[in-house]
Structure 1
Amino acid sequence: MSPQHHSQTQRILDLLSQRGLLRPSDLDAIGASRVTLARMTDAGLLEKVDRGLYRLADQDHSENDSLITVATKVPQAVFCLLTALQFHDLTTQLPREIWIAMPRGSHVPKIDYPPIKMVQVTGDAYAAGIEIFQRDGVPLRIYGVARTVVDCFKHRNKIGIDVALEALRDARAQKKASADDLWRYAKICRVANVMRPYLEAIE
């Protein structure tokens, strides 16, 4: 291995140790070539996760891998509904797809894996309740507990009213969402009238 190739390999490894995932476009900032990326993949040092997305081959696979992949490829995506419930430990469901929210008018992201389910959200409702969690150096944008519970009622026809009720009961029982926060997001998402009887019943 030439000194130059060795140096580029080390820079790529250093960057991956900080960020977890790498795109070919990231190489420009560290002065490494795409040829080096291909050689490292062929040598088994790197693993291709998806089109244009790489990680260390010996990296431990965490339960957040799918979320990290989506967040890296679609930075504006906000994880919502069943995916957010699972992240917040508020459901017994194991969703087959990753649920994301995107601004109205967005196209479904082209990602080979994991499978995506997208809901479109308008105006102020899109930004309301986003929380950011760092995983392997990648920021995950996820709706908080109260917002997620409200979304479950908003999209009850997609995921089932039973899932929404379970999420509401668990969020209140575990003190993860206050009644005030639930009311606030219910109004923002225009679902207050739907939630009113359920919220009053558990107060």
Structure 2
Amino acid sequence: MQKILTLFNNNHGYAKMQELKDAGIHTRDVASALQSGVIEKFAPGKYKLINYPWDEFSSFTDIAFVRTDAVVCLQSAAEYHGLTTYNPSVVAVAVPKGSRGISLSHPPVSVHFFSPDQYKTEILTVKAAGGEFSVYSMEKTVVDLFRFRNKAGMDLVLEVLKSYLSRKDRNINLLLHYARKFRVYSILNASVKAMVV
């Protein structure tokens, strides 16, 4: 059991079945660790240590461990940046259009397929207890919420914009640049003007 614990602790609390096998850990030992509640399986061939010192970003790192190209977006990114009081029950992530979805038993995931230009713009890398995950910048998050305003709901979109405008680290020029680029300039600019007046 100590060998299993060491491997997980050295890998930010995660391990793939192949890594366990490569370390000489037999599948019956993995099954025993699962049965005793030491580890849990959260995706096909992916495991995590139950008693690892996880932080509030463990849902994000779970997804990043399964899909390194997944980027936290929309409501989940707004929550990460402190732009909303809304606590989404599903983690929203973006992946490149044309790629496959994400298979996880938990956390619940909403996968959005972004075009190459929309996908690769303004990605930040965050270090957490469970390793690294990617999230869109505040400006990209606000613009994406305006793009998805019919699904997200205008109440949430306007709450996020209001919170963003109250931040000292906001960059209105960058926000408007991406609003133009991703074709939501008219509605976003009108909303900004209505809040600033």
Q: Over the residues paired in the alignment, what is the CA RMSD in angstroms?
A: 2.1
In the alignment, the residues of structure 2 paired with residue 37 and residue 93 of structure 1 have an alpha-carbon distance, to the nearest angstrom, of: 38
Aligned residue type for 1:102 = V
Aligned residue type for 2:145 = C
Q: 1:12 to 1:170 in 2, by over 3 A?
A: same
Instruction: Normalising by structure 1, report the TM-score.
Output: 0.85
Contact 1:145 1:176 in 2 (8 A): no
Give a deviation string over 1:150-185, Cα, whole Å, max 9, x none.
Answer: 111010011012211111110120224210120122
Task: Indicate whether 1:196 and 2:189 are aligned.
Answer: yes
Structure 1: give runs of 5+ residues left out of the alignment.
Answer: 1-8
2:29 aligns with one of 17, 25, 36: 36
Give a deviation string over 1:45-86, Cα, whole Å, max 9, x none.
Answer: 323334422222323454322222111112211110111111
5 Å matches for 1:1-203? 9-18=1-10, 19-203=12-196
In the TM superposition, residue 202 of structure 1 has moved relative to its aligned partner by: 4.2
Aligned residue type for 1:23 = K
Secondary structure of 1:22's counterpart equals strand
Q: Percent identity?
A: 30
Secondary structure of 2:15's counterpart equals coil
1:6 aligned residue: none
Contact 2:54 2:129 in 1 (8 A): no
Instruction: Normalising by structure 2, report the TM-score.
Output: 0.87
Secondary structure of 1:94's counterpart equals coil
Structure 2: give runs of 5+ residues left out of the alignment.
Answer: none
In the alignment, the residues of structure 1 paired with residue 169 and residue 154 of structure 2 have an alpha-carbon distance, to the nearest angstrom, of: 20
Aligned residue type for 2:107 = P
In the alignment, the residues of structure 2 paired with residue 115 and residue 45 of structure 1 have an alpha-carbon distance, to the nearest angstrom, of: 22
Paired positions, count:
195
In the alignment, the residues of structure 2 paired with residue 153 and residue 46 of structure 1 have an alpha-carbon distance, to the nearest angstrom, of: 40
Contact 1:125 1:188 in 2 (8 A): no
1:4 aligned residue: none
Q: 1:29 to 1:135 in 2, by over 3 A?
A: farther
